[in-house]
Chain A
Amino acid sequence: MIRTATIAAITLLLQGAANAQMSHHHVSESACDTTELRCATKVTPAFAPDGRLWLAWMAGGRILVANSKDRGKTFSTPVAVVDRPLELDWGPDARPRMVIDRHNRIAIAFAIFRDKNFNGEVLYTRSVDGGHSFTKPEPITPNTESQRFAQLALDADGSVFVAWLDKRNRAQARAANRIYKGAALFFAWSKDGGGTYSEARMVRDSTCECCRISVAFAGPGRPAVLFRNIFPGSVRDHAIVTFKDQATPGEVHRVSQDGWKTEACPHQGPSLAISPKGTYHAVWFTGGEVRKGLFYARSADSGETFSEPMAIGRLDRNASRPYVVASASGTAIAWKEFDGEKTAVKLITSGDDGKTWSQPRVIAATVDASDHPLLVSDGHDLFLSWMTKADGYHITPIDGAP
């Protein structure tokens, strides 16, 4: 009796202690809490015009930047964009964005949570001294409603295009007692390498609010933005808009009829690439009635119409986070799959501008948490950029890739 009571008491004690410890344990996707690259949760790569590889990462509540002259074998001493911890936007699709122009100016945009309700604020900063120092981050817009998922892209004339999701119209709708769903797609331009940005302008109201957006250039002055829209009836399928010129967004076209009617946050945005021939390549995730999983489609008419979606990856292995790149030598798509124990990055390639594709092959794997797999080109070779908790950061040239 006494022994039973003792064992019961000790069991309860141990359970309680374990539970309390678990509850207070810092649950993290990162390997460590400091600011080194190996502690990062999100790493964004970009090759500069001079061939140098730049990384911007989130670690220890900060955004850090470093560069490599030897394609990722060694890196410069990291520089923190802000010398204090920030309430960074940790959403699954959030990450710092970065472009480097031909004057070696580094433009960065990232989001923080501005309040305890997780409303976001997009901040931008710039370095003009080769990444040794950065300007004090400033809001991308004076408006104080939620902004998230900023995406930067460099135009041929050196202008920096920024697009993001902005909830300012929700506040107005609320004040007028109207129902408002989602957010709005906004944009601005910088003519000084990311030092200042023009006034924010809206492209489209009522888009999905919790997914990354993707930008590619259809030609000089003509960014194209792929985003998860909210179509009538709360259908969160993808749409695309191509600018006619820097000031004029074109018509919004639907990419596919997936029929994902949902009042949920998918937390998983699309990826877009445009080949030198002008072919649009789009990849996305849907849980629609018509189709579920990852899909690819191409457009030969500047995004007006898209091909029948092609399924990518295994649905029963949680195929996720698709990413596409296109160059003169070919097109490539990477994504993640999880088999219950490990996450693998798979790749398919196309040598005919997306008409036909190779069989999938595994190019990397890890046994713990990982960032989205990203593909990046230095103009000659294609690399996989992938941050993993267990194995650190990889920047790996892909053999036999286009």
Chain B
Amino acid sequence: MKRHLLLFALALTVSFLPQYLAAADQLRAFQRGSWQTILHAHAGRPMMVNFWGVTCAPCKVELPLLGKFVRDNPGLDVVTVNADLVPNAREAVLSMLRKTGLLSTENWTFSDGFVERLRFEIDPAWQGDIPRTMLIARDGKVTTLEGIVDLAKVKKWFEAQMNETK
């Protein structure tokens, strides 16, 4: 009986695994509480979070640069969050991430119609302007950068954080 149960559970898991991985690895649903989930998951490690959107023109300039940055600097904690509330944007979001080489990064997409509450959880002063980058230090200190970021400076920030670790 126990063996049957185990086999059943494994079969179920395997059958849902591709769907789970697709949902989890490519584009996760950013909902109430997701910000704390991200912060906890990366706690103690320097992290860059980039908020962008499919209708945002400067984001289209920045994302390919971010894609290159991620390729050139493997192992850094980089997270993207699509913060543009356009209905059914999932395909557009995935297409943009694919084009910019960011598909294997940790990617999230706003998935709650009450965007004010999502933004408030991240930063009560944030009005929704994108692109927006948050650098979260090992000690949790947040540095917010508006607009297209200078990735050379971001790299220096990561290096400084790593040096502190040593």
Contacts and interface: CB of A to CB of B under 8 A. Distances in A.
B113 A20 contact: no
Contacts, number: 164
A72 interface: no
Interface string A228-246: 0000001000000000000
A116 B92 contact: yes
A77 B115 CA distance: 31
Nearest to A90: B86
Given A20-B23, A116-B92, A266-B127, A13 B13 contact: yes
A10 B58 contact: no
Contacts of A27: 85, 87, 110-113
A23 B54 CA distance: 17
Nearest to B56: A265
Contact of A264 (B2, B23, B129): B129
A167 to B, nearest CB: 9
Given A12-B20, A29-B113, A320-B127, A265 B87 contact: no
Nearest to A29: B113
A26 interface: yes
A209 B61 CA distance: 15
A104 interface: no
A118 B90 CA distance: 14
Nearest to A23: B23
Interface in B1-60: 2-3, 5-6, 9-10, 12-13, 16-17, 19-20, 22-24, 27-29, 31, 53-59
B159 interface: no
A2 B29 CA distance: 31
A23 B111 contact: yes
A300 interface: no
A340 B123 CA distance: 11
A141 interface: no
Nearest to B14: A9
B9 A23 contact: no
A22 B24 contact: no
Contacts of B128: 92, 266-268
Contacts of A24: 90
Contact of A268 (B110, B127, B147): B127
A214 B16 CA distance: 51
A197 to B, nearest CB: 25
B58 A9 contact: no
Contacts of B71: none
Interface of A: 2, 5-6, 9-10, 12-13, 15-17, 19-20, 22-30, 90-92, 116, 118, 209-210, 234, 262-268, 285, 287, 292, 315-318, 320, 336, 338, 340-341, 343, 368-369, 389
14 contacts: A5-B10, A16-B17, A29-B114, A91-B86, A210-B55, A210-B56, A262-B129, A263-B61, A264-B148, A287-B127, A316-B124, A318-B119, A369-B113, A389-B113
Interface of B: 2-3, 5-6, 9-10, 12-13, 16-17, 19-20, 22-24, 27-29, 31, 53-59, 61, 85-88, 90, 92, 95, 109-117, 119-120, 124-132, 146-148
